[in-house]
Amino acid sequence: MYRRGSLDDTVIAKGLDSHLWKLIVKLWPKLEELSSWTLGNGKTVEWYKDIWIDKGLRVADPNLNIPANMHDWKVVQLVDDDGSWKRSVFVEWLPFNIMK
């Protein structure tokens, strides 16, 4: 709401913003440092498009040659019934640093 069309992750406060928002903006770096993703069951997180691996990192960004039919998969589709990664699905085209 208050990023006002910002293309990066910065938040800003303007003179007419509430006192509370100005304090939040001041504390924003600490909030980001302490925040984390919760994938839950992985049924809503898009593994290719969403930022869920690390801050600012999407699987779509490194221009990998990922099969088009997998672009709309959810994270849950990359995990087996035991909760382990299905490495065989992506080991051939996903770089080690992302797999790690």
> What's the rounded Cα separation, in Å, for the pair 12 and 14?
7
- The CA-based diameter of the chain, rounded to the nearest angstrom, is 54
Tokens for 43?
Answer: 């049924």
pTM of the model: 0.56
| pLDDT exceeds cutoff 70 at 78 | yes
Which pLDDT score, from 0 to 100, does residue 3 have? 56
Which has more confidence, 22 or 89?
A: 22
Which pLDDT score, from 0 to 100, does residue 23 have? 92
- DSSP E strand stretches across the chain: none
Q: Tokens 């959810």 — which residue? A: 74
The residues spanned by each domain of the chain are 1-35, 38-100
Q: Cα torsion for 52, 55, 60, 61, to the nearest 10°? A: 180
Band (6; pLDDT cuts 50, 70, 90): low
Which pLDDT score, from 0 to 100, does residue 7 have? 56
Q: What tens digit of pLDDT does each residue of 11-65 get? A: 888 888 899 999 988 998 888 777 766 767 788 888 888 887 777 778 787 777 8
